[in-house]
A and B are shown apart, each in its own frame.
Chain A
Amino acid sequence: DAKTTQPPSMDCAEGRAANLPCNHSTISGNEYVYWYRQIHSQGPQYIIHGLKNNETNEMASLIITEDRKSSTLILPHATLRDTAVYYCIVRVHYQFYFGTGTSLTVIP
């Protein structure tokens, strides 16, 4: 029962910003948005999360719209190692609702 919608795939040129969109139109006020990525054959890796405000860390930035119905993960300078499946997740209490993710390919 995924609560998010993401494009199935995207390409990005190496060194450019990668902007990954996510729709979560049914999100409730106390539900967090999380982003993880999964590189082939590995467990998902935490990237960033937020509730209402935009967030930034050493890996990425998260932009959440004012109505909270969508968000964008920004990788500021994509490298080949950023090629992975990116999951946008709504956390409801302890429960993470994974969708099918966006397969990002960084092109040299």
Chain B
Amino acid sequence: DTEVTQTPKHLVMGMTNKKSLKCEQHMGHRAMYWYKQKAKKPPELMFVYSYEKLSINESVPSRFSPECPNSSLLNLHLHALQPEDSALYLCASSQTGNYGYTFGSGTRLTVV
């Protein structure tokens, strides 16, 4: 298995909803990442997990809450989002010390 799987592929949520994005990999990678990509812009790093511990938080608002329950799973919990949070959310993983990431196909999130 050489893939990063993200679910759901599309999500529409209201500003008062609580939802979660899920990411799964079975490549034995111990580093996992969340990125946000707006239309016609490059992906921007949000969080880095290394050995299931949050190691990097790029000053992301607290309405985004990451969680790494085990070495294969990464969640992003969403609460009270704003319409400007609508974007493609990408999950990635890598071997620690390997800088080429394996990305999932992303979750396209629309906040209404």
| A and B together in one complex | no
